Amino acid sequence: MTVVEGDVTNLPYEYGASDAVFNFAVLHHVPDWKAGLQEVARVLKVGGRLFSQDHDVAHHDWLSRHLFVHPPDRFTNADFLDHVANIGLHPLDMEDRPEQLLVIVFNQ
């Protein structure tokens, strides 16, 4: 296994290089999260999957909002799912809670 440090808005992989991409509470920290999600879609093979767990920062409790720094333009779960659809990805399964979204997304 190889670990590569990089920028989710500019991944060092060819188009369609990945069978799977994993996001565990990262995209809500990325200032241009839409570009990051678009880049994930670019590197997914047809039939590839994005496994994502991320936070709807608007629904964080008071302590979390004050302890953790987040860029000002955060997404809601609905924003995330809308952008997934806009870039041509399709949710296969999800658990949509007010504070977080767990979703498996399929690239057709």
Q: What is the DSSP string of 64-86?
A: HHHHS---SSPPPHHHHHHHHHH
Residue 85: both structure tokens together? 């659809």
The string over 68-97, giving b where at least 16 C-beta atoms fall within 10 Å of a residue's C-beta and e elsewhere, is eeeeeebbebeebbebbeebebebeeeeee
- Domain 18-107, classified CATH 3.40.50.150, yes or no: yes
Residue 16: how many other CB atoms lie within 10 Å: 14
User: With a cut of 50, which residues of the chain have pLDDT below it?
Assistant: none
Task: Enter the pTM of the model.
Answer: 0.85
The DSSP H or E segment spanning 43 is helix 33-43
